[in-house]
A = this chain, B = another copy of it.
Amino acid sequence: MPVVTIQVTREGTTPDAHSVTAEEKAALISGVSALLLDVLNKPVDSTFVIIDEVETENWGWGGLPVEQFREQLRARQAE
């Protein structure tokens, strides 16, 4: 009866994608369910997986909205 909540920013993994694709969501769902079956013997039929997509503007990291922090990180790495 696990409940697994996956919070990620609403972004794509390829330039033309603006959020997690249906295929990627299905892969996360099956991967997490298999992991809980494998490690804790939890039947997939009573495992819930909830994917929570968060707008990048709503995700803070490093004291900044995440897009700004990523710019800061890139500048740091460029130095």
- Contact partners of A8 in chain B: CB under 8 A: 1-2, 36, 40, 42
Are the C-beta atoms of B62 and A33 separated by less than 8 Å? yes
Are the C-beta atoms of B27 and A39 separated by less than 8 Å? yes
How far is the CB of A60 from the nearest CB of chain B, in Å? 3
List which A43-79 residues lie within 8 A (CB) of chain B. Answer: 44-54, 57-66, 68
One complex includes copies of this chain to the number of 6
- Contact partners of A35 in chain B: CB under 8 A: 27-28, 31-32, 35
Which of A2, A36, A53 lies at the interface centre, i.e. has the most chain B CB atoms within 10 A of its CB?
A2
Q: A5-B5, A39-B24, A39-B28 are in contact. Are A48 and B33 (CB under 8 A)?
A: no
